[in-house]
Amino acid sequence: MATILVVEDAPSQLELINSFLRGSGHTVIKAYDAKDGMSKAINYRLDTIITDVVMP
Protein backbone atom coordinates (compact mmCIF):
# COMPACT_ATOMS: atom_id res chain seq x y z
CA MET A 1 0.00 0.00 0.00
CA ALA A 2 0.93 3.68 -0.05
CA THR A 3 2.93 5.81 2.36
CA ILE A 4 0.90 8.98 2.87
CA LEU A 5 1.82 12.23 4.60
CA VAL A 6 -1.20 13.90 6.20
CA VAL A 7 -0.75 17.55 7.19
CA GLU A 8 -3.62 18.82 9.36
CA ASP A 9 -3.62 21.31 12.23
CA ALA A 10 -6.90 20.08 13.78
CA PRO A 11 -6.01 17.02 15.90
CA SER A 12 -9.48 15.42 15.65
CA GLN A 13 -9.46 15.68 11.84
CA LEU A 14 -5.92 14.33 11.67
CA GLU A 15 -6.84 11.30 13.77
CA LEU A 16 -9.98 10.65 11.70
CA ILE A 17 -8.00 10.68 8.44
CA ASN A 18 -5.23 8.62 10.04
CA SER A 19 -7.70 5.98 11.26
CA PHE A 20 -9.40 5.70 7.86
CA LEU A 21 -6.14 5.41 5.90
CA ARG A 22 -4.50 2.94 8.30
CA GLY A 23 -7.67 0.87 8.27
CA SER A 24 -7.31 0.70 4.50
CA GLY A 25 -3.78 -0.67 4.86
CA HIS A 26 -1.74 2.49 4.23
CA THR A 27 1.22 3.78 6.19
CA VAL A 28 0.48 7.27 7.52
CA ILE A 29 3.00 9.92 8.50
CA LYS A 30 1.30 12.67 10.51
CA ALA A 31 2.25 16.35 10.61
CA TYR A 32 0.51 18.98 12.74
CA ASP A 33 1.59 22.10 10.81
CA ALA A 34 3.16 23.18 7.53
CA LYS A 35 6.71 23.38 8.93
CA ASP A 36 6.51 19.83 10.30
CA GLY A 37 4.94 18.68 7.01
CA MET A 38 7.75 20.15 4.93
CA SER A 39 10.36 18.51 7.14
CA LYS A 40 8.69 15.12 6.86
CA ALA A 41 8.16 15.51 3.10
CA ILE A 42 11.92 15.93 2.75
CA ASN A 43 12.88 13.11 5.12
CA TYR A 44 10.44 10.34 4.13
CA ARG A 45 9.85 8.50 0.89
CA LEU A 46 6.17 9.29 0.22
CA ASP A 47 3.63 8.18 -2.34
CA THR A 48 1.26 11.09 -1.75
CA ILE A 49 0.50 14.06 0.52
CA ILE A 50 -2.89 15.05 1.87
CA THR A 51 -2.90 18.56 3.34
CA ASP A 52 -5.24 21.03 4.90
CA VAL A 53 -5.58 24.11 2.69
CA VAL A 54 -6.13 26.67 5.45
CA MET A 55 -3.56 26.59 8.28
CA PRO A 56 -1.97 29.34 10.36
Longest dimension (CA), the chain: 31
Beta sheet of 3-7, edge-to-edge order: 27-31, 3-7, 48-51
Q: Is residue 11 part of a domain?
A: yes
Q: Is residue 23 part of a domain?
A: yes
Q: Tell me the mean pLDDT in the region 12-34.
A: 97
Q: Tell me the mean pLDDT in the region 17-30.
A: 98
pLDDT over threshold 90, residue 55: no
Q: Tell me the mean pLDDT in the region 36-49.
A: 97
Give 9's pLDDT tier (boundaries 50, 70, 90).
Answer: very high
Q: State the sign of the Cα–Cα–Cα–Cα dihedral 44, 45, 47, 48.
A: positive
Sequence letter at residue 37? G
- Quote the number of domains for the chain: 1
Give 56's pLDDT tier (boundaries 50, 70, 90).
Answer: confident
Q: Is residue 8 part of a domain?
A: yes
- Domain with 28 in it: what CATH number? 3.40.50
Q: Tell me the mean pLDDT in the region 14-36.
A: 97
Residues 6+ apart with CB under 8 A from 27: 1, 2, 3, 4
Q: Is residue 56 part of a domain?
A: no
